Amino acid sequence: MKVENIIEQAAVLRGAIGDDLHDRLTTAIYKDAGQIADRAVARQGKSASQSFDQKLDRVLTSRLWGFPLMLLMLTIVLWLTIAGANVPSAMLSDLLQGTVYNTLHSLANSLNSPWWLSGFLIDGVYLATAWVISVMLPPMAIFFPLFTLLEDLGYLPRVAFNLDRLFKRAGAHGKQSLTMMMGYGCNAAGVVSTRIIDSPRERLIAIITNNFSICNGRFPTMILIGTIFIGATAPPVLASFIAATSVAAVAVLGIVFTLLVSAFLSKTWLKGEASSFSLELPPYRPPQIWQTLYRSIIERTLIVLKRAVWMAAPAGAIIWLIGNIFVGEMSIAAHVIGFLNPFGLLIGLNGVILLAYIVAIPANEIVVPTILMLTLNAAKSGLAQNGVMIELDDLQVREVLTGVGGWTLLTGINLMLFSLLHNPCSTTIWTIWQETKSFKWTTVATVLPVVLGIVVCLLTASVARLFNII
């Protein structure tokens, strides 16, 4: 029998049975499941734990307390991270950029290695790697376990629940609040997780806006800049708290942009109604402390660090090369920075930062180390060349950036904003292409955030200039 005949016959039979077959099948299954469950399950009223869950949910997801508690939770986590990371960060940079760096250089000297070789390997590849480790490892080792604990407890779905209302109003799918939470780990993972959204329109919105979730790679940048530029303006007692608040504020701004851009897209290119769904609140589960620690330190932290180091080593090589290959009077880096500088300054950043973002397209993790190395290279600081540049703790990073790089508070704030609003990393862009297979939407997802970032930075810079604040 021919295949087409079977299909035709099915269509005829379907007409005879009626259109509501799908519903009838579903009803039959539900009825059967209900009967089996009735026979197999015996329960004695509502248990204490369930009513405790409900009471907790009433507070955590209440219209009045939901958002303030969310903000408080985020700030506390960030505060613990910033306050806790200070000392180990300083110790690590003492070791890696001080002792080890000096040892490597004296070893190179004793071996009579040519300047370009030791420069390329030690000042380029090694230094960038050391930077990434000392800047990123301590905050990650504190932030990830705390974040994973919240996830393990079951708090993240409550956050998603709180945000669901807003997403609906923005014309987006409620599940986007979940994919957004996923993006806080890794935007590439967030983009893949949008597969839980059925409607292509809403899925595209979720993909395009996922970049506004600050990923693992960008949190350390935010934390560092927040600490040295914003925290440092406050009295020492409050410094960590103010720094944490500033990072939390940028994170919230990310959510605001997610909603605004979603609303914009669903009113213009991706018109349509929000589809409804029911979001499930899992029971609160006591977190498994040791497993969480192990998982988040060994897996998340080390995996992110490994990726950062893999990216940092070649980036360090490139930075050293463009800083030491001369075209005419100036190095390649100096040419590019000089070219980008006017535009950079116009939007409250500078040429070094823009170049760093180009070098760091493969991985956001290495933006700050790249900026520091480029700043020092570009300024032709004597420090960098004879190997004294080392041992930069937070305060000295600030000195390098303000003294050598000419940074102001505005530069710090705008760098945080630009870190939130710029193109996704290459892994994420590739993932977006894989998921959409659309050149158009991949381009939109890549370019839209940068344009937004430039506009926002220009805006803050103009306001600052207008009122002569900075």
Partner 1 sequence: MSTQAVTIKQCGGCATDCHTAQLTKLGIKVRNWDFAVALAGNPNTGKSTIFNALTGLRQHVGNWAGKTVSRAEGAFNFEDKKFKLVDLPGTYSLLSTSVDEEIARDFILFGKPDVTVVVADATRLERSLHLVLQILEITNHVVVALNLMDEAERDEMTIDVRELTRELGVPVVPMSARRGTGVSELLKAIGKVAAGQFPLQARQIRYEDKKLESAIETLTAQLGETFADLPNARWVALRLLEGDESVINAVRTKTLGTLKIENSFSQLALSEAR
- Verify binding: residue 17, partner 1, rule CB under 8 A: yes
Q: Which window, 34-42, 116-124, 204-212, 262-270, contacts partner 1 (CB under 8 A)? A: 34-42
Q: Cα separation of 382 and 387, whole Å?
A: 9
Is 44 one of the binding residues for partner 1 (CB under 8 A)? yes
Distance in angstroms (rounded) separating the CA atoms of residues 453 and 283? 39
Residue 16 binding partner 1, by CB under 8 A: yes
- Among 68, 282, 338, 342, indicate the residue that binds partner 1 (CB under 8 A): 282
Select 25 or 256, whichever has its Cβ closest to partner 1.
Answer: 25
Q: Any idea how long the chain is? A: 470
In the beta sheet, which residues pair with residue 167?
none
Does 29 engage in binding with partner 1 (CB under 8 A)? yes
Number of residues that bind partner 1 (CB under 8 A): 72
How far, in Å, CA of 198 to CA of 246, rounded? 36
Distance of alpha carbon 114 from alpha carbon 119, whole angstroms: 8
- Residue 175 binds to partner 1 (criterion: CB under 8 A): yes
Q: Is 49 in the site for partner 1 (CB under 8 A)?
A: yes
Distance CA 85, CA 142 (A): 7
Tell me the closest approach of the beta carbon of residue 36 to partner 1, in angstroms: 5
Q: Which of 76, 80, 83, 196 binds partner 1 (CB under 8 A)?
A: 196
Please give the single-letter amino acid code of residue 129.
T
Among 268, 280, 327, 467, binds partner 1 (CB under 8 A): 280
CA distances from 296 to 143, 181, 300, 369 (A): 9, 16, 5, 24
Conformation bin of residue 86: beta by default, left when phi > 0, alpha when psi is -120 to 50: alpha
Closest distance to partner 1 from the beta carbon of 291 (Å): 9
**Least CB distance to partner 1 at residue 352 (A):** 29
Binding to partner 1, residues 105-164 (CB under 8 A): 148, 151-154, 156-157, 160
Residues in contact with 273: Cβ distance below 8 Å, sequence separation at least 6, in sequence order? 171
Task: In angstroms, give the least distance from the CB of 316 to partner 1.
Answer: 22
Q: Which two tokens stand for residue 36?
A: 């089996």
Does 198 help bind partner 1 (rule: CB under 8 A)? yes
CB of 144 to partner 1, least distance (A): 10
In 3D space, the residue among 427, 362, 421 whose CA is nearest the CA of residue 185 turns out to be 427
The piece of 63-71, 257-265, 300-308, 310-318 that touches partner 1 (CB under 8 A) is 300-308
Q: Which of residues 340-369 bind partner 1 (CB under 8 A)?
A: none
> In the range 423-462, which residues lie near partner 1 by CB under 8 A?
427
The reply on whether position 1 binds partner 1 by CB under 8 A is yes
The answer to whether residue 40 forms part of the interface with partner 1 (CB under 8 A) is yes
- Given the rule CB under 8 A, which of 79-87, 119-127, 295-303, 358-366 is the region that contacts partner 1? 295-303
Measured CA to CA, the distance from residue 228 to residue 220 in angstroms comes to: 12
For residues 210 to 239, the per-residue mask of contacts with partner 1, x marking binding by CB under 8 A and - elsewhere, is ------x-----------------------
Least distance (Å) from partner 1 to the CB of residue 142? 17
Rank residues 42 and 64 by Cβ distance to partner 1 and give the closer one.
42
308 vs 14: CA distance, rounded Å: 57
> Which among 219, 216, 244, 217 has a CA at the least distance from the CA of 230?
244
> What is the residue type of 345?
L
Q: Which is nearer to partner 1, 53 or 393 (CB)?
A: 53
Q: For residues 61 and 162, is the Cβ–Cβ distance under 8 A?
A: yes
CA angle, 202 as apex, 199 and 208 as ends, to 5°? 135
Gap between the Cα atoms of 249 and 255, Å rounded: 10
Residues 6+ apart with CB under 8 A from 193: 178, 179, 182
CB nearer to partner 1: give 64 or 437. Answer: 437
Among 78, 182, 404, 454, binds partner 1 (CB under 8 A): 182
